Amino acid sequence: MTKKLPIAYLCTSRGWGGLEMNHLRNALWMKSRGHEITLVCTKNSPLEKAGIEVHLSVISIRKPARHYAFLSAWMLILSLHKRGVKEVFIRNTSDISLGASIAFFSFKQIHIHFFMELMFQDQKQQLYRTIRYSFLSSWICSLEYMKQKVLSSTHIEPNKVCVIPSALDFSQISPFNKNEARQQLKLPMDKVIFGMIGRIDRKKRIELSILALHQLQSTRHQLIIVGEETPDSQDSYLTELKQLIQEKKLEDQVHFYGFHSETSPFYHAIDALIMASDFETFGMSTIEALAHNTPVIATNSGGSQELLHLFPLGILVEPGNPLSFASAMQKILEIDADKFDANAFKGYFDHQRICEIIESRILSCESVR
């Protein structure tokens, strides 16, 4: 029988968004496969609370400095050694410095594996970054374009960089059809409904969907927004969106649904998901929509571009252009969903397959499945 490994998932973020949820989700998948999982997180963070609720072994620490957190690294090394942990996964770029310090002070006996969630746009070839990245054992990208960007923008050793897709647990997708989902959510059956699902954040460019809806000049089209602002956010973006809706007289066509941990009914209910960010690194919402056979309208850049080329079910539009979004919204019902290879998609993003790849390629052990 293949030996199960002690593994730590480290994330010091105080936020609660896709990155933190992905980290916790992946930790639970590896735990279900028999590995001994420890979650390392900041005291009183949403991730700490979530980890305790799902009965993970949790190490709670004070929020470390972003750079040169040597004391925090030493303290963590002691805790990890006691648990026999030699493999640590991180996802937040803010944790790279801490991870590199752990590798350095442990004489690389503890391996740090970075799963890249957010793409950088500028060069990262400064000497201090090159030294820091040299202590990473692996740098995992979700898509090929991310790998090429990392290789061209850093001095990291190429053999450390690989592509492993983000994953989904397809058993969590509810079996509703569109009518059943709309009935459950009390949504009209006779409307063309678009959805934006995720954090309400200025970078998501939600205003573009509102302006596109206004361009359509049709009461047949509606937009639902599922999500909430980052807790304690000082940004006025949500207020601005509501003012825009009022200004364009769209109060009867745009609806806010707040945060929902169970989003599957929403993906089933909408006619298309809109990803309006100027640049989306990967887009978990995109693959979640595709997993529900729901088309996606997304900007022709970054992860959205690669995903919709790999699995065509949607329309790519010009970033920042509400007219381009409006044109796609008019055409969305013409898309032939039968051309979408759902079985190939499921096989590619299945979480058990991805865990097997991590075990063999990153942890250098036989699959425990």
H helix intervals, the chain: 18-32, 46-53, 70-82, 96-105, 127-133, 144-153, 178-185, 206-216, 237-247, 264-269, 284-291, 302-310, 322-331, 342-349, 351-357
Q: What is the distance of C-alpha 285 from the center of its chain?
A: 7
Same domain, 64 and 201: no
**Same-domain check for residues 124 and 180:** no
Q: Kindly state whether residue 63 falls inside one of the protein's structural domains.
A: yes
CA Rg value for the chain: 21
Please give the DSSP secondary-structure letter assigned to residue 362. Answer: I
- Asked whether the predicted pLDDT for residue 262 surpasses 50, the reply is yes
End-to-end CA distance of the chain: 10
Lowest mean pLDDT across 171-175, 255-259, 350-354: 171-175
- Structure confidence at residue 338 (pLDDT): 80
Give the burial string for 206-228 (b: 16+ CB within 10 Å, else e): bbbbbbbbbbbeeeebbbbbbbb
8 A C-beta contact, residue 88 and residue 98: no
Kindly state whether residue 367 falls inside one of the protein's structural domains.
no
Q: Which pLDDT does position 1 carry in this prediction?
A: 35
Instruction: Let me know if residue 332 belongs to a domain.
Output: yes
Task: Give me the helices (H) in 111-230, please.
Answer: 127-133, 144-153, 178-185, 206-216
Residue 198, classed as helix, strand or coil, is coil
Residue 192, in any domain of the structure = yes
State whether 199 and 139 are in the same domain. Answer: no
Domain match, 281 and 232 both: yes
pLDDT at 3: 65
- Band (pLDDT 50/70/90 cuts) for residue 366 is low
C-alpha to C-alpha distance for 213 and 169, rounded to whole angstroms: 33
Same domain, 191 and 322: yes
Residues 358 and 308 in one domain: no
* Cα separation values, 211 from 83, 239, 369, Å: 54, 16, 49
19 plus 120 within the same structural domain: yes
Q: Which of 48-57, 62-71, 237-246, 269-278 has the lowest mean pLDDT?
A: 62-71
Asked whether residue 142 falls in the same domain as residue 194, the answer is: no
In a domain, 163, yes or no: yes
> Does the structure show a pLDDT above 60 at 115?
yes
Residue-range definition of the domain harbouring residue 51: 6-167+350-362
Q: Which residues contact 208 (CB under 8 A, 6 or more apart)?
A: 276, 320, 321, 322, 325
Which of these, 296, 301, 298, 290, lies nearest to 314 by C-alpha position? 296
Q: What is the mean pLDDT of residues 105-133?
A: 95
Backbone angles phi, psi at 357, to 5 degrees: -65, -40
CA angle 34, 38, 41 (to 5 degrees): 150
Structural domains of the chain, count: 2
In a domain, 146, yes or no: yes
Question: Does residue 232 surpass a pLDDT of 90?
Answer: no
The rounded distance, in Å, linking the Cα atoms of 323 and 327 is: 6
User: Does residue 302 sit within a domain?
Assistant: yes
Q: For the domain that residue 66 is a member of, what is the CATH number?
A: 3.40.50.2000
For residue 318, is pLDDT > 50? yes
Task: Please check whether residues 87 and 136 belong to one and the same domain.
Answer: yes
Specify whether 82 is located in the same domain as 196: no
Within this chain, do residues 148 and 190 fall inside the same structural domain, yes or no? no
Mean pLDDT, the chain, rounded, equals: 94
**Residue 354 in this model has a pLDDT that exceeds 80:** yes
Look at residue 368 and tell me if it is in a domain: no
CA 336, chain centre distance (Å): 27
**Same domain, yes or no, for 185 and 279?**
yes
